[in-house]
Protein backbone atom coordinates (compact mmCIF):
# COMPACT_ATOMS: atom_id res chain seq x y z
CA UNK A 1 0.00 0.00 0.00
CA UNK A 2 0.97 3.64 0.21
CA UNK A 3 1.69 3.39 3.92
CA UNK A 4 4.99 4.98 4.83
CA UNK A 5 5.58 6.53 1.41
CA UNK A 6 7.15 9.91 1.90
CA UNK A 7 7.13 9.38 5.65
CA UNK A 8 10.17 8.75 7.78
CA UNK A 9 11.18 5.25 8.81
CA UNK A 10 9.88 5.69 12.30
CA UNK A 11 6.30 6.38 11.24
CA UNK A 12 6.47 3.67 8.57
CA UNK A 13 7.30 0.96 11.09
CA UNK A 14 4.80 2.29 13.59
CA UNK A 15 2.04 2.10 11.01
CA UNK A 16 3.04 -1.45 10.03
CA UNK A 17 3.20 -2.59 13.62
CA UNK A 18 -0.10 -0.87 14.31
CA UNK A 19 -1.75 -2.74 11.47
CA UNK A 20 -0.30 -5.99 12.77
CA UNK A 21 -1.51 -5.31 16.28
CA UNK A 22 -5.00 -4.56 14.98
CA UNK A 23 -5.04 -7.81 12.96
CA UNK A 24 -3.80 -9.61 16.08
CA UNK A 25 -6.62 -8.19 18.19
CA UNK A 26 -9.18 -8.95 15.50
CA UNK A 27 -8.05 -12.57 15.36
CA UNK A 28 -7.98 -12.86 19.13
CA UNK A 29 -11.56 -11.63 19.31
CA UNK A 30 -12.57 -13.98 16.50
CA UNK A 31 -11.01 -16.97 18.30
CA UNK A 32 -12.76 -16.05 21.54
CA UNK A 33 -16.12 -15.81 19.74
CA UNK A 34 -15.38 -19.06 17.93
CA UNK A 35 -15.32 -20.87 21.28
CA UNK A 36 -18.62 -19.30 22.38
CA UNK A 37 -20.27 -19.97 19.02
CA UNK A 38 -18.98 -23.53 18.92
CA UNK A 39 -17.19 -23.04 15.62
CA UNK A 40 -14.46 -25.53 16.47
CA UNK A 41 -14.70 -29.17 15.47
CA UNK A 42 -12.45 -32.19 15.48
CA UNK A 43 -11.46 -34.15 12.45
CA UNK A 44 -9.89 -37.56 12.93
CA UNK A 45 -7.12 -39.22 10.95
CA UNK A 46 -6.81 -43.02 11.14
CA UNK A 47 -3.62 -44.51 12.57
CA UNK A 48 -3.02 -47.82 10.79
CA UNK A 49 -1.05 -50.86 11.98
CA UNK A 50 1.41 -51.45 9.15
CA UNK A 51 1.53 -55.21 9.74
CA UNK A 52 -2.20 -55.92 9.72
CA UNK A 53 -3.68 -52.91 7.93
CA UNK A 54 -6.11 -52.49 10.84
CA UNK A 55 -7.09 -49.00 11.99
CA UNK A 56 -5.96 -49.12 15.60
CA UNK A 57 -6.49 -45.52 16.50
CA UNK A 58 -7.14 -42.00 15.36
CA UNK A 59 -5.51 -38.62 15.86
CA UNK A 60 -7.83 -35.74 16.74
CA UNK A 61 -7.05 -32.69 14.60
CA UNK A 62 -8.61 -29.34 15.38
CA UNK A 63 -10.52 -27.39 12.75
CA UNK A 64 -12.14 -23.96 12.87
CA UNK A 65 -15.23 -23.44 10.73
CA UNK A 66 -16.21 -19.75 10.90
CA UNK A 67 -19.86 -19.10 10.01
CA UNK A 68 -19.45 -17.54 6.56
CA UNK A 69 -15.86 -18.26 5.70
CA UNK A 70 -13.82 -21.28 4.64
CA UNK A 71 -12.43 -23.69 7.21
CA UNK A 72 -9.26 -22.46 8.93
CA UNK A 73 -6.39 -24.88 9.46
CA UNK A 74 -4.72 -25.16 12.88
CA UNK A 75 -1.39 -23.94 11.51
CA UNK A 76 -3.12 -20.59 10.91
CA UNK A 77 -4.56 -20.06 14.39
CA UNK A 78 -2.78 -22.26 16.95
CA UNK A 79 0.32 -20.03 17.17
CA UNK A 80 -1.89 -17.03 18.05
CA UNK A 81 -4.02 -19.10 20.41
CA UNK A 82 -0.79 -20.19 22.08
CA UNK A 83 0.51 -16.62 22.34
CA UNK A 84 -2.71 -15.21 23.80
CA UNK A 85 -3.33 -18.10 26.18
CA UNK A 86 -6.59 -18.99 24.39
CA UNK A 87 -5.03 -22.37 23.69
CA UNK A 88 -5.87 -23.34 27.27
CA UNK A 89 -9.69 -23.19 26.94
CA UNK A 90 -9.48 -24.37 23.30
CA UNK A 91 -7.22 -27.28 24.27
CA UNK A 92 -9.55 -28.14 27.11
CA UNK A 93 -12.44 -28.30 24.65
CA UNK A 94 -10.35 -30.56 22.37
CA UNK A 95 -9.51 -32.94 25.21
CA UNK A 96 -13.10 -33.20 26.40
CA UNK A 97 -14.52 -33.61 22.89
CA UNK A 98 -12.01 -36.32 21.96
CA UNK A 99 -12.65 -38.19 25.22
CA UNK A 100 -16.42 -38.05 24.65
CA UNK A 101 -15.89 -39.35 21.10
CA UNK A 102 -13.90 -42.33 22.42
CA UNK A 103 -16.79 -43.16 24.78
CA UNK A 104 -19.36 -42.69 21.99
CA UNK A 105 -17.52 -45.16 19.72
CA UNK A 106 -17.27 -47.67 22.57
CA UNK A 107 -20.99 -47.29 23.26
CA UNK A 108 -21.70 -47.80 19.54
CA UNK A 109 -20.20 -51.30 19.89
CA UNK A 110 -16.86 -50.64 18.19
CA UNK A 111 -13.56 -52.11 19.36
CA UNK A 112 -11.71 -49.73 21.66
CA UNK A 113 -10.21 -46.92 19.60
CA UNK A 114 -7.01 -45.23 20.71
CA UNK A 115 -7.49 -41.47 20.49
CA UNK A 116 -4.42 -39.25 20.23
CA UNK A 117 -4.71 -35.61 21.23
CA UNK A 118 -2.10 -32.90 20.55
CA UNK A 119 -1.03 -30.76 23.48
CA UNK A 120 0.61 -27.40 22.87
CA UNK A 121 3.65 -26.18 24.82
CA UNK A 122 1.61 -23.75 26.90
CA UNK A 123 -1.02 -26.35 27.65
CA UNK A 124 1.57 -28.89 28.72
CA UNK A 125 3.94 -26.64 30.67
CA UNK A 126 1.71 -23.76 31.74
CA UNK A 127 -1.33 -25.17 33.50
CA UNK A 128 -1.90 -28.22 35.58
CA UNK A 129 -2.60 -30.47 32.65
CA UNK A 130 -2.42 -33.68 34.69
CA UNK A 131 -5.17 -32.44 37.01
CA UNK A 132 -7.34 -31.39 34.04
CA UNK A 133 -6.86 -34.74 32.33
CA UNK A 134 -7.76 -36.58 35.54
CA UNK A 135 -10.93 -34.50 35.94
CA UNK A 136 -11.95 -35.01 32.31
CA UNK A 137 -11.28 -38.77 32.46
CA UNK A 138 -13.56 -38.99 35.50
CA UNK A 139 -16.18 -36.72 33.94
CA UNK A 140 -16.39 -38.43 30.56
CA UNK A 141 -15.70 -42.09 31.37
CA UNK A 142 -12.93 -42.13 28.76
CA UNK A 143 -10.61 -45.14 29.11
CA UNK A 144 -7.11 -43.77 29.85
CA UNK A 145 -5.55 -46.94 28.42
CA UNK A 146 -6.84 -45.80 25.01
CA UNK A 147 -5.82 -42.16 25.29
CA UNK A 148 -2.50 -40.87 23.93
CA UNK A 149 -1.24 -37.34 24.47
CA UNK A 150 1.18 -35.99 21.85
CA UNK A 151 3.83 -33.41 22.66
CA UNK A 152 6.79 -32.24 20.60
CA UNK A 153 10.39 -32.78 21.66
CA UNK A 154 10.98 -29.02 21.98
CA UNK A 155 8.39 -28.95 24.78
CA UNK A 156 10.32 -31.64 26.68
CA UNK A 157 13.62 -29.86 26.26
CA UNK A 158 12.22 -26.46 27.28
CA UNK A 159 11.71 -27.62 30.84
CA UNK A 160 12.80 -31.24 31.30
CA UNK A 161 12.20 -31.27 35.06
CA UNK A 162 8.60 -30.03 34.82
CA UNK A 163 7.96 -32.24 31.79
CA UNK A 164 9.23 -35.34 33.62
CA UNK A 165 6.95 -34.63 36.58
CA UNK A 166 3.86 -34.01 34.44
CA UNK A 167 4.52 -37.04 32.25
CA UNK A 168 4.99 -39.19 35.34
CA UNK A 169 1.60 -38.12 36.65
CA UNK A 170 -0.10 -38.75 33.30
CA UNK A 171 1.59 -42.14 32.90
CA UNK A 172 0.46 -43.08 36.40
CA UNK A 173 -3.16 -42.56 35.26
CA UNK A 174 -2.54 -45.05 32.46
CA UNK A 175 -2.42 -42.46 29.70
CA UNK A 176 0.16 -43.02 26.94
CA UNK A 177 2.56 -40.33 25.77
CA UNK A 178 3.91 -39.81 22.26
CA UNK A 179 6.62 -37.55 20.89
CA UNK A 180 5.23 -35.75 17.85
CA UNK A 181 7.26 -34.46 14.88
CA UNK A 182 10.27 -36.46 16.05
CA UNK A 183 13.51 -35.46 14.37
CA UNK A 184 12.70 -31.78 13.97
CA UNK A 185 14.07 -30.77 17.38
CA UNK A 186 17.52 -31.15 18.77
CA UNK A 187 17.09 -34.00 21.17
CA UNK A 188 18.77 -37.31 20.60
CA UNK A 189 16.89 -40.53 21.05
CA UNK A 190 19.12 -41.32 24.01
CA UNK A 191 18.04 -38.13 25.78
CA UNK A 192 14.43 -39.32 25.59
CA UNK A 193 15.29 -42.29 27.78
CA UNK A 194 14.46 -40.46 31.00
CA UNK A 195 10.89 -39.66 29.93
CA UNK A 196 8.02 -42.16 30.27
CA UNK A 197 7.25 -42.24 26.55
CA UNK A 198 5.33 -44.89 24.68
CA UNK A 199 5.57 -43.82 21.03
CA UNK A 200 7.65 -41.78 18.61
CA UNK A 201 6.10 -40.15 15.58
CA UNK A 202 8.59 -39.66 12.77
CA UNK A 203 8.06 -36.23 11.25
CA UNK A 204 6.55 -36.00 7.78
CA UNK A 205 9.59 -34.11 6.48
CA UNK A 206 11.67 -37.33 6.72
CA UNK A 207 8.97 -39.55 5.24
CA UNK A 208 8.35 -37.26 2.29
CA UNK A 209 11.62 -37.99 0.45
CA UNK A 210 12.25 -41.40 1.92
CA UNK A 211 12.33 -43.18 -1.42
CA UNK A 212 14.43 -40.52 -3.19
CA UNK A 213 16.83 -39.27 -0.52
CA UNK A 214 19.30 -41.78 0.90
CA UNK A 215 19.94 -39.60 3.96
CA UNK A 216 16.27 -39.48 4.89
CA UNK A 217 16.00 -43.23 4.36
CA UNK A 218 18.98 -43.76 6.67
CA UNK A 219 17.52 -41.45 9.33
CA UNK A 220 14.13 -43.18 9.27
CA UNK A 221 15.83 -46.56 9.47
CA UNK A 222 17.99 -45.53 12.39
CA UNK A 223 15.05 -44.03 14.27
CA UNK A 224 13.00 -47.21 13.85
CA UNK A 225 15.88 -49.45 14.98
CA UNK A 226 16.87 -47.33 17.96
CA UNK A 227 13.29 -46.73 19.04
CA UNK A 228 12.66 -50.46 18.98
CA UNK A 229 15.78 -51.11 21.03
CA UNK A 230 14.26 -48.72 23.60
CA UNK A 231 10.92 -50.59 23.36
CA UNK A 232 9.16 -47.62 21.79
CA UNK A 233 6.35 -47.85 19.28
CA UNK A 234 7.11 -46.03 16.00
CA UNK A 235 4.55 -44.19 13.88
CA UNK A 236 5.38 -42.62 10.52
CA UNK A 237 3.55 -39.38 9.73
CA UNK A 238 2.54 -38.11 6.31
CA UNK A 239 2.77 -41.36 4.33
CA UNK A 240 1.48 -40.48 0.88
CA UNK A 241 2.72 -43.17 -1.53
CA UNK A 242 2.73 -46.96 -1.75
CA UNK A 243 6.52 -46.83 -2.13
CA UNK A 244 6.89 -45.03 1.19
CA UNK A 245 4.53 -47.52 2.82
CA UNK A 246 6.49 -50.48 1.39
CA UNK A 247 9.75 -49.04 2.72
CA UNK A 248 8.28 -48.55 6.19
CA UNK A 249 6.83 -52.05 6.15
CA UNK A 250 10.20 -53.55 5.17
CA UNK A 251 11.94 -51.69 7.96
CA UNK A 252 9.50 -52.71 10.66
CA UNK A 253 7.77 -49.40 11.34
CA UNK A 254 4.77 -50.20 13.56
CA UNK A 255 2.11 -47.75 12.43
CA UNK A 256 1.45 -45.02 9.93
CA UNK A 257 -0.76 -42.06 9.20
CA UNK A 258 -1.08 -40.42 5.84
CA UNK A 259 -3.06 -39.49 2.81
CA UNK A 260 -2.24 -42.85 1.18
CA UNK A 261 -4.70 -44.35 3.65
CA UNK A 262 -6.92 -41.43 4.61
CA UNK A 263 -6.91 -37.70 5.18
CA UNK A 264 -8.33 -36.41 8.46
CA UNK A 265 -12.13 -36.79 8.19
CA UNK A 266 -15.31 -36.08 10.13
CA UNK A 267 -16.03 -38.54 12.97
CA UNK A 268 -18.93 -40.10 11.05
CA UNK A 269 -16.57 -41.21 8.30
CA UNK A 270 -14.22 -42.90 10.77
CA UNK A 271 -16.86 -45.34 11.99
CA UNK A 272 -16.86 -47.32 8.73
CA UNK A 273 -13.11 -47.88 9.13
CA UNK A 274 -13.38 -49.31 12.64
CA UNK A 275 -14.00 -52.92 13.63
CA UNK A 276 -17.02 -54.05 15.61
CA UNK A 277 -16.11 -55.35 19.07
CA UNK A 278 -15.66 -59.14 19.09
CA UNK A 279 -16.79 -59.75 22.67
CA UNK A 280 -20.40 -60.75 22.06
CA UNK A 281 -19.99 -64.49 22.71
P1 LIG B 1 0.57 -32.88 13.76
O2 LIG B 1 0.08 -33.18 15.13
O3 LIG B 1 1.92 -33.32 13.40
O4 LIG B 1 -0.54 -33.50 12.80
C5 LIG B 1 -0.25 -34.06 11.55
C6 LIG B 1 -0.58 -33.08 10.43
O7 LIG B 1 -0.17 -33.67 9.20
C8 LIG B 1 -2.07 -32.77 10.28
O9 LIG B 1 -2.19 -31.43 9.81
C10 LIG B 1 -2.48 -33.75 9.18
O11 LIG B 1 -3.62 -33.35 8.48
C12 LIG B 1 -1.25 -33.70 8.30
N13 LIG B 1 -1.10 -34.90 7.48
C14 LIG B 1 -1.44 -36.16 7.79
N15 LIG B 1 -1.14 -37.01 6.79
C16 LIG B 1 -0.58 -36.27 5.81
C17 LIG B 1 -0.06 -36.58 4.50
O18 LIG B 1 -0.02 -37.71 4.06
N19 LIG B 1 0.43 -35.52 3.77
C20 LIG B 1 0.40 -34.25 4.25
N21 LIG B 1 0.87 -33.29 3.46
N22 LIG B 1 -0.08 -33.93 5.49
C23 LIG B 1 -0.56 -34.93 6.25
P24 LIG B 1 -3.23 -30.41 10.45
O25 LIG B 1 -4.51 -31.11 10.80
O26 LIG B 1 -3.29 -29.22 9.56
O27 LIG B 1 -2.53 -30.01 11.81
C28 LIG B 1 -1.30 -29.33 11.82
C29 LIG B 1 -0.73 -29.24 13.19
O30 LIG B 1 -1.56 -28.42 14.04
C31 LIG B 1 -0.65 -30.57 13.92
O32 LIG B 1 0.49 -31.29 13.48
C33 LIG B 1 -0.53 -30.11 15.36
O34 LIG B 1 0.78 -29.70 15.66
C35 LIG B 1 -1.42 -28.89 15.36
N36 LIG B 1 -2.75 -29.27 15.91
C37 LIG B 1 -3.80 -29.86 15.30
N38 LIG B 1 -4.82 -30.05 16.16
C39 LIG B 1 -4.38 -29.59 17.35
C40 LIG B 1 -4.98 -29.49 18.67
O41 LIG B 1 -6.12 -29.93 18.93
N42 LIG B 1 -4.23 -28.92 19.67
C43 LIG B 1 -2.96 -28.45 19.43
N44 LIG B 1 -2.28 -27.91 20.47
N45 LIG B 1 -2.38 -28.54 18.22
C46 LIG B 1 -3.08 -29.09 17.19
MG1 LIG C 1 0.16 -34.80 16.29
MG1 LIG D 1 3.23 -34.59 13.84
MG1 LIG E 1 3.75 -32.22 12.06
Q: What SS3 state is found at 1?
A: coil
Q: Is the pTM of this model over 0.80?
A: yes
Which residue's CA is the closest to the ligand 1 atom numbered 8? 61
One DSSP character per residue, 113-148 reads -EEEEE--HHHHHHS-HHHHHHHHHHHH---GGGEE
Q: Tell me 7's DSSP state.
A: S
C-alpha–C-alpha distance, residues 137 and 175, integer Å? 10
Q: Is the CB of 46 under 6 A from ligand 1?
A: no
What's residue 7's pLDDT? 46
Instruction: In whole angstroms, give the CA distance from residue 157 to residue 250.
Output: 32
pLDDT (tens digit, 9 = 90+) per residue, 77-106? Answer: 999 999 999 999 999 999 999 999 999 999
Q: Which residues make Cβ contacts (< 8 Å) with residue 173, sequence separation at least 6? A: 130, 133, 134, 137, 144
| Closest ligand 1 atom, residue 43 Cα | 25
Cβ pair 123, 158 in contact under 8 A: no
Give the per-residue pLDDT at 231: 94
- Going by pLDDT thresholds of 50, 70 and 90, the confidence category of residue 250 is very high
Q: Is the dihedral of CA 98, 103, 201, 92 positive or negative?
A: positive
Q: Kindly state if the Cβ of 62 falls inside 6 Å of ligand 1.
A: yes
- For residues 169 and 161, give the distance between their C-alpha atoms in angstroms, rounded to a whole number: 13
**Segment 123-153, tens digit of pLDDT:** 999 879 999 999 999 999 999 999 999 999 8
DSSP structural state of residue 194: G
**Band (22; pLDDT cuts 50, 70, 90):** confident
125/128 Cα distance (integer angstroms): 8
Ligand 3 centroid distance, CA of 247 (Å): 19
pLDDT in tens, 30-67: 999 999 999 999 999 999 999 999 999 999 999 999 98
For residue 81, the ligand closest to its alpha carbon is 1
* CB-count burial class (<10 Å; 0-12, 13-18, 19+) for 188: exposed
This model of the complex carries an ipTM of 0.98
What pLDDT was estimated at residue 4?
A: 44
pLDDT at 194: 85
Q: What is the CA radius of gyration of the chain?
A: 21
The per-residue pLDDT of the chain, averaged, comes to 91
State the pLDDT confidence band at 245, using cuts at 50, 70 and 90: very high
Residue nearest ligand 1's atom 21 by CA: 238
pLDDT surpasses 70 at 9: no
Any atom of ligand 1 within 6 Å of the Cβ of 183: no
Return the minimum-mean-pLDDT range out of 160-164, 189-193, 194-198, 276-280: 276-280
Residue 13 pLDDT? 60
CA of residue 12 to ligand 2 center, whole Å: 40
Amino acid sequence: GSKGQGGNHHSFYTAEMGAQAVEHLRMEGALQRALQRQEFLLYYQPVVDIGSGVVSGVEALLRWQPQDRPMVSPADFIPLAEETGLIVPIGDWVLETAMRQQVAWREAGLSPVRISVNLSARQFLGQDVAQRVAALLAGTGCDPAFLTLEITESVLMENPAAATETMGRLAAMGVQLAIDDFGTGYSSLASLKRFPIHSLKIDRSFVMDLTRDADDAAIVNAVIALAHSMKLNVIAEGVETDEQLAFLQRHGCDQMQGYCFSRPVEPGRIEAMLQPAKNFH
